[in-house]
Amino acid sequence: MNQVIFHLAFPINDIAQTKEFYANGLGCQVGRESPNSIILNLYGNQIVAHVVKEILAPQKGIYPRHFGLVFTQESDWEALLKCAEKNELKFYQQPKRRFPNSLLEHRTFFLEDPFHNLLEFKYYYHQEAIFGCSNYQQIGDSVTV
């Protein structure tokens, strides 16, 4: 199977702030850039930030919209966590364990970029929980959206 790369576009208000957070803070490689957009490499995936004129309001919680990565190596998750802490990125939710002592157990933390986009980074202790474990119903935190 050929490698498939994920693409995500999201709104921002300022290219310089975007570069500071994503390139300098998270370590994304900067690709093409225009006055209205910037392409970033987030662990081999293409994310594209597009400048919008409207003020971007914070969400009232992590649902319904956020994006991020699922790491397959805990050491990679920990390295990104240390990078976020070192670069004093804004944590929306501190690192925690979800569903402890179950097949769904995973580590997670959320960051918030300067435009209120929420990013989640996870590591599952059991790889089958990433797409499987369909006999379980738990997904994320218990909230009403």
What percentage of the chain carries pLDDT values higher than 70? 95
pLDDT in tens, 76-94: 999 999 999 999 999 999 9
Beta pairing class for 45-51 and 37-42: antiparallel
Q: Residue 142's pLDDT is what?
A: 62
pTM for this prediction: 0.92
CA distances from 46 to 8, 27, 30, 100, 144 (A): 7, 14, 10, 32, 31
Residue whose structure tokens are 């994310």:
47
Q: Residue 1's pLDDT is what?
A: 75
